[in-house]
Structure 1
């Protein structure tokens, strides 16, 4: 798949390497929700982006909206528990996250969903991961971003209150935990600004979508 990524000036290496997770910084959102953020967790993230863009079997989906069938504005891939992930560093990332959050989460991350935002026209609307156990239980969703930064916005569920903005790309990590999927929503909005492609890898526990 043809892509054009402007590489990060701060990550000029093709060696894929995960940093320590003790640099995570937590922001309490209220009502039991929180996010942890670690910029640049993965070194060599631009090289991983190029490999995933070329090698993952991306699929385009369509969904019915009212009386129309519309294209989902991003490409998707999903790896269930036991599936071989498309690069060994993603296995390492999932295992590292499972170890780090073992006491809080009480179970491992098992699945990986990938989203390919090809340019500023691709997006995902406001939502929480509430299909399955996330609708009634505290859980975690960890997102590793490679490629050009895109804004991830968070707001209290149903709107109202302030909106948080976190630009994520080039190996950045965000973890949404506690009640975040029930009490907050997140999105990646469209943008008219010139922006390069981005891939997000979302690690989730079993039964959370």
Structure 2
């Protein structure tokens, strides 16, 4: 996993047990970004991520969506699934991961993680454009979004809101954890760009607080 940016600040969280068969979150590395934003990284947090990928790929009720863009309807370039607050997650490990994240980040702003969204990037043609999770409460308040990645690594980039080149470049897959916090959703954008390189499939699992999408 590579991070490319200037003015980094890394800090390691205090050791604690996450429970439920998951490794502790003591290896989290924090990078402080501009404008009150930060990201936490923990490579390879999930145990047996390849088995989890296979389970999710085969059992999640994936759906293809269409959206209107430039006065025409186009297909969303990835498959999607959503689990609300009362929905059972598609694998027990994800429920344990959400509990561990809520314990670790209880003192941070944004409230506990309650909903889950899944994206299935089948190959390099699947992507998500530059955006921030600014619908609802995320538009006006600091919040957090946690992303677990399983399958083959894909690039995820971040840049300050308003455009310009990416200032942070990550390669996420194989059980990696990324948490975006502080003002990140309001003041930064993130994207998974298309690529012409041959890449395998990746699934991302996003945990969000209530009222953030």
Name the TM-score, length of structure 2 as normaliser. 0.89
Counterparts of 1:174 and 1:122, CA distance in 2: 20
Partner of 2:36: 32
Partner of 1:157: 161
Verify: 1:109 aligned to 2:113, yes or no. yes
* Contact 1:34–1:177 (Cα < 8 Å) also in 2: yes
Partner of 1:143: 147
Verify: 1:121 aligned to 2:133, yes or no. no
SS in 2 for 1:35: strand
Verify: 1:92 aligned to 2:96, yes or no. yes
Q: Structure 1: where are the runs of 5+ without partners?
A: 1-15
What's the CA shift for 1:17? 4.7
* Contact 1:17–1:44 (Cα < 8 Å) also in 2: no
What's the CA shift for 1:160? 3.1
Partner of 1:61: 65
Name the TM-score, length of structure 1 as normaliser. 0.90
Alpha-carbon distance change, 17 to 147 in structure 1, aligned in 2, over 3 angstroms: farther
SS in 1 for 2:149: strand
Alpha-carbon distance change, 161 to 31 in structure 1, aligned in 2, over 3 angstroms: farther
Partner of 2:47: 43
Counterparts of 1:17 and 1:154, CA distance in 2: 31
What's the CA shift for 1:162? 5.1
Alpha-carbon distance change, 162 to 87 in structure 1, aligned in 2, over 3 angstroms: closer
SS in 2 for 1:49: helix
* Contact 1:24–1:38 (Cα < 8 Å) also in 2: yes
Q: Give the alignment's Cα RMSD to 1 decimal.
A: 1.2
What's the CA shift for 1:106? 5.9
Counterparts of 1:17 and 1:199, CA distance in 2: 21
User: For 2:186, which of 164, 176, 182 is the aligned residue?
Assistant: 182
Counterparts of 2:183 and 2:51, CA distance in 1: 34
Q: Structure 2: where are the runs of 5+ without partners?
A: 1-19
SS in 2 for 1:116: strand
